[in-house]
Amino acid sequence: MIGDKKIVYSAVQPTGCITLGNYVGAIQNWLKLSEEYNSIFAIADLHALTVRQVPAEYRQRAMSFFAQYLACGLDPEKSIMYFQSHVPEHAELTWILNCFTYIGEAQRMTQFKDKSAKHTDNINMGLLDYPVLMASDILLYQTDFVPVGIDQKQHLELCRDLAIRFNNLYSPTFTVPEAYIGKQGAKIFSLQEPTKKMSKSDPDVNATVSIIDSADDIMRKFKRAVTDCDSVVRFDEVNKPGVSNLLTIFSAATGKTIEELEKEFEGKGYAQLKPAVGEAVAEKFRPIRERYDEYMKNKDYLMSVAKSGAEKARSIARRTLSKVYRKVGLVEG
C-alpha cells in the first residue's frame, strides 16, 4: 500500500457469472478508482456459501471469476486481489462484530428477506449473518470508499452503523466507509423484465449478459430485449423502463451521454437501437473475453497472483484484528 492514499475495497460473490450489471454498477468504477487510490478487490467466496454450491463447480467458478477480474483490466501491480477464504481474519472479525449486531438489524435487510423467501428450505444463519461478514471485509482494511451498485447500499449503511457503534463504545478503531455509487448504471435491469434488477442467478439466459459471452450471444440477447409498444427512443424510467435500460447500457459502453444517444436515434426506432447497443457491448467486452481465455490457460499465474494478494491482505487485516481483540479485552497471545 502506498503512503497515505485513501483505500477502496469491494468484492463480488462467485455465483452465476459476472454480468453486465456487475461490470457497469461496480467493476467499471473499480477500474477508475484503482488508478487514484490504494485498492483491494476480493472474490467473496465465503459469502456465496450461504446458498448451496456444487463443490467442484464452485471451485472452478471462483477461479474463473478471478481470471475475469484480471481480464477486466484490474492490475495486480496496482490492486490487491485475493480470495476471501484465504484470509481467515474475515471470519474472525465477523464473530466479534456479531456480538455488536442486533438480530433485528440483520432481519431488516431487504436482501435477507428476498433470499429467505427464495430459499425457504435453507434459511440458514449465514444468510442472516451475510451483511456482518461484508462489514468485516470492509472494516478490516480501514476502507474509505466502497464502489458498489445501489442494491448494496443498505448493507453499507449497516456496516457504517457497526463501525460507529464500535468506535463509540471503545475508541476510534475503524474508518467509517462511504459507499461509492455511480450516478448512472448503479442498477442495470433485466433485458427480459426491465423493472427487475439484472441478476447473476436469473434462470432466464436471455435476461442477463455475461462479460465473457460471445459476440453472437450478446447480439441475440439485445435483439430480443423487451422494450415497449411505441417506438420512440427516449429516456423515461417510469414509462419506458426497457428503452431507458438500453440507453443506460449504451451510454456505459460508449461513454456517450444519454442526451447524445437520444439525439442520434431521433426518428429511428427500436429495430435500430437494439442491435446498436448489442454491437457496442460486444465490442466493449471483446478484449475482456480474449484476455480471459489467455488467463484461464495459465492457472499457475492466477494462483501466484491470488497467493501474493492474500499475503498482502492478511498483513493489513491482522493489524486491524489485533487492535480489535485488544480493545474488547482479549488476552494478548
Residue 120 neighbours by CB distance under 10 Å: 7
Site size for ligand TYM, by CB under 6 A? Answer: 25
Binder among 89, 137, 144, 202 for ligand TYM (CB under 6 A): 137
Stretch that binds ligand TYM, among 52-60, 160-168, 182-190, 229-237 (CB under 6 A): 182-190
Least Å distance between CB 23 and ligand TYM?
Answer: 8
* By the rule CB under 6 A, 198 interacts with ligand TYM: yes
Binder among 43, 44, 226, 310 for ligand TYM (CB under 6 A): 44
User: Which one is catalytic: 187, 200, 221, 274?
Assistant: 200
Binder among 62, 67, 87, 149 for ligand TYM (CB under 6 A): 149
CA distances from 152 to 26, 135, 186 (A): 10, 11, 10
How many CA within 13 A on the CB side of residue 207? 16
At residue 292, the 3 state secondary structure works out as helix
Nearer residue to ligand TYM within complex by CB, 105 or 264: 105
Nearer residue to ligand TYM within complex by CB, 72 or 186: 186
Q: Are 254 and 248 in contact (CB under 8 A)?
A: no
Least Å distance between CB 299 and ligand TYM?
Answer: 23
Least Å distance between CB 28 and ligand TYM?
Answer: 10
CA distances from 308 to 7, 73, 77, 82, 152 (A): 19, 18, 11, 8, 28
How many CA within 13 A on the CB side of residue 253? 23
SS (H, E, C) 121-138: CCCCHHHHHHHHHHHHHH
Residue 299 appears among annotated catalytic residues: no
Least Å distance between CB 91 and ligand TYM?
Answer: 13
* By the rule CB under 6 A, 21 interacts with ligand TYM: yes
Residue 221 appears among annotated catalytic residues: no
Which three three-digit cell numbers place residue 279?
Answer: 454491437
Binder among 34, 47, 233, 245 for ligand TYM (CB under 6 A): 47
Binder among 7, 12, 74, 302 for ligand TYM (CB under 6 A): 12
User: Which one is catalytic: 32, 78, 153, 197?
Assistant: 197
Stretch that binds ligand TYM, among 17-25, 257-265, 286-294, 307-315 (CB under 6 A): 17-25
**CA 321 from centroid of its chain's CA atoms:** 24
CA distances from 53 to 3, 15, 263 (A): 40, 9, 46
Residue 118 appears among annotated catalytic residues: no
Q: For residues 190 and 269, give the distance between their C-alpha atoms in angstroms, rounded to a whole number.
A: 20
Q: For residues 130 and 101, give the distance between their C-alpha atoms in angstroms, rounded to a whole number.
A: 12
Binder among 7, 8, 17, 22 for ligand TYM (CB under 6 A): 22
CA angle 6, 12, 18 (to 5 degrees): 125
Nearer residue to ligand TYM within complex by CB, 87 or 282: 87
Least Å distance between CB 278 and ligand TYM?
Answer: 18
Which three three-digit cell numbers place residue 67?
Answer: 481470471
- What are the b/e assignments for 290-299, b being 16+ CB within 10 Å? ebbeebbeee
**Catalytic residue set:** 115, 197, 200
Which residues are at the interface with ligand TYM (CB under 6 A)? 9-13, 21-22, 24-26, 44, 47, 134, 137-138, 146, 148-149, 151-152, 186-188, 197-198
